[in-house]
Structure 1
Amino acid sequence: MHINDHNPLPPYQAASDRYDQMKYRYCGNSGLQLPEISLGLWHNFGHNADFTLGRKILRRAFDLGICHFDLANNYGPPFGSAEENFGRILQKDFKTYRDELLISSKAGWDMWPGPYGNFGSRKYIIASCDQSLKRMGLDYVDVFYHHRPDPNTPIEESMGALDQLVRQGKALYVGISQYNAEDTAKAYQILKEMGTPLLIHQPRYSMLDRWVEDGLLDVLGDKGIGSIAFSPLEQGMLTNKYLGGIPEDSRAAKDGRYLKPEQINEDKLAMIKALNDIAIKRGQTLAQMAIAWLLKDPRITSVLVGVSKPEQLDDNVNAVKNTQFSSEELKAIQSIIGA
């Protein structure tokens, strides 16, 4: 079912000062720059969402200098619908700006039935990229990722498929997501020998989920691989949304797939409130500080945010104005989130 588009918007003309609103960082050792804030289309772009609102979010993002839009084959719901809707918005609003946009997609989670619709075989990765291009109406994506490691497929096969996509002109760069430090180093080496650099890693990373600090960030820094952190606000926990408990209209209350009410326990709430106090002293919202805290590390190229309304982008983008932390602030944060 296609979502309603009964609210025609006036033709889109991008803000002339868009690149003054954002800071950009080189992605590892490549010549590619990413905006410090990128927009993910994991939520709010499926067929169950408001299409006009989706257009407004993407327009606002681009006007703020966010030129990187991140998708995956199974974003929706249903699977594929975020790419379809993004393709429709691209045609309506961004056709003339294609070469200013960095568009990424991924394959690795379940997408269609049967043994060839999931994980990391060459068959699945190549077919999935072809489907994504068709849904979005694109000749190529700028970055194509293997979305998660596959324990049953040789890493050489998955990386070989990524290399093939670049050689076929279907992707300009390739990346991986959720790989641990050891497998990331392996993937880097395999791709290097094929002549296709591993551009970027997309790990889950936030103040409350710091697994990347256990070796992965060191590998990224040593090898010159860029990184883009997803779930930086820990599904909304690192915002002012839950400071007073779980509001009835929140995703945690309505949709237990992503954030379960029991995750927001008394200890977590105390931690979030203490972090919020530091953010207030810094003149930031908790969300802004959580993003800035990730960006303080030069190995983090960009932070991936998802929003449900355009105004949230302004709040997120303001985070890039202050990514410096005093040693006292860092110590105080460390004492709250643990070593």
Structure 2
Amino acid sequence: MSVDTYLPSLSRYEGTPYRRVGRSGLLLPPISLGLWQNFGEDCDPQSLRAIVRRAFDLGITHFDLANNYGPPPGSAEAHVGRILEQDFRHLRDQLVISTKAGHRMGPGPYGDGGSRKYLLTSLDQSLHRLGLGHVDIFYHHREDPDTPLEETMGALDQAVRSGKALYAGISNYSPERTVQAAEILADLGTPLLIHQPSYSMFNRHVEHGLLGVADDLGLGLAVFSPLQQGLLTNKYASGVPTGSRASNTGGSLTARQVHDATYQERMRGLSDIAHERGQSLAQLALAWTLRHPAVATALVGASTVRQLEQNVLTVENLGFTAEELVRIDEFAIDGTAR
């Protein structure tokens, strides 16, 4: 046997409070591994492999991707495909692999949007990169106002009927379009399983309609950016570290956001509450997003095994008192991070 043969932990399912996705039969771990910005070609393949292995050992069964994750686009799926082939061939039935299409993936008129051609072609390409016969969840990544919603949902229905996806999902849809999408899919005979929105203490838009829609329709939510790209961690407590996301010019997180006095004040207030609970700021932020029953899982990236392990410790303290929630609301202000 190779010294590098992966033998998963026999206790990996102990202590993980798996959560039901809406009114479906699918269960997901409260913390899932999101591969948005930490699995590009500039990353060390062995470090990525160690993160995925450790995630599974900690009970994380859900790995979330999209066709354009990298950079460059496609590289995250390619990395995960190699890891699955190396370590998880005999464990595929214990994994939930999701991917998406909808953002710009390639040149020309067929590499973006919500057309049937783009979505189904992209799914085939994703399956090739992943080395899989099917994904568990296939999402439309964002609304496309130029494509009839019936066409987009028809493509998701076809993906499920063809066996290339087990469940259909949407991401970044408004509450109103979510209702419309669910109705179209229901008429086609393929239920809408899950919605993937952004949600954090500093980005609370889902509380203005989407949480209620999820409850009414029986959808689960898989929330992304629960740590607001690092703003809800201790990483930026003393400024902008060299090499951090906020130090990269042109990125989605800026040094100006980190140095903003209002942000610093609110981060300190939330850090004090976290300390009183025996948690890090990141753990508090993750637990807070998971407090609503509609939230099935929080997607968290990880650049190191240590970071992943600390995030998973969140599940040891997911409860909040009414007083704590009131205090948190003093600092968890929607729009703080914009």
For 2:180 and 2:3, how far apart are their aligned partners in 1?
A: 48
Q: Answer yes or no: is the 8 Å Cα contact 2:102–2:113 preserved in 1.
A: yes
The alignment partner of 2:32 has SS state of strand
Write the distance in 2 (CA, Å) between the matches of 1:241 and 1:23: 28
TM-score after normalising by structure 2: 0.96
Whether 1:302 and 2:300 are equivalent positions in the alignment is no
Runs of 4+ in 1 over 2 A off after TM superposition: none
Q: Could you tell me how far apart the structure 2 residues matched to 1:9 and 1:181 are?
A: 51
Amino acid paired to 2:194: I
Among 86, 89, 100, the alignment partner of 1:95 is 89
What residue in structure 2 maps to residue 160 of structure 1?
154
Do 2:101 and 2:122's aligned partners in 1 also have CA atoms closer than 8 Å?
Answer: yes
Aligned partner of 1:115 among 105, 109, 112 = 109
**Contact 1:71 1:105 (C-alpha < 8 Å) held by counterparts:** yes
Task: Please list, as runs of the form range in 1=range in 2, the aligned pairs for 1:69-148 lying within 5 A after superposition.
Answer: 69-148=63-142
1:1-339 alignment to 2 at 5 Å?
Answer: 10-264=4-258, 265-338=260-333
Is 2:226–2:299's contact at 8 Å kept on the other side of the alignment? yes
Assess, with a 3 A threshold, how the Cα gap between structure 1 residues 21 and 55 changes in structure 2: closer, same or farther: farther
Describe the SS at the equivalent of 2:105. coil
Does the 8 Å contact 2:202/2:333 carry over to 1? no
Determine helix, strand or coil for the equivalent of 2:272. helix
- What runs of 5+ residues in structure 1 fail to find an aligned partner? 1-7
**TM-fit CA distance, 1:249:** 3.1
Kept in 2: contact 1:238–1:286 (CA 8 A): yes
Give the superposed CA RMSD. Answer: 1.1
- TM-aligned CA deviation for residue 133 of structure 1: 0.3
| 8 A contact 1:44–1:50 mirrored in 2 | no
**TM-superposition CA deviations, 1:160-204 (whole Å, max 9, x none):** 000000111100001000001000000011001111000000000
Secondary structure at the residue paired with 1:150? Answer: coil
Counterparts of 1:86 and 1:214 in 2: how far apart (Å)?
Answer: 35
Which runs of 5 or more structure 2 residues have no equivalent in the other structure? Answer: none
Quick check: 2:203–2:333 contact (8 Å CA) kept in 1? no
Relative to 1, partners in 2 of residues 1:279 and 1:9: Cα closer, same or farther, differing over 3 Å? farther
Deviation at 1:337, TM superposition (A): 2.2
CA contact (8 A) 2:100 2:141 kept: yes
Counterpart code for 1:132: S
Q: Which amino acid aligns with 2:281?
A: L
Q: Distance in 1 between matches of 2:25 and 2:216?
A: 17
Q: Is the 8 A contact 1:227 1:301 kept in 2?
A: yes
Within 2, Cα distance between the matches of 1:198 and 1:9? 43
CA distance in 1, matches of 2:41, 2:71: 6
Cα drift, residue 255 of structure 1 = 4.9
Task: Measure how far apart 1:258 and its partner are.
Answer: 2.3
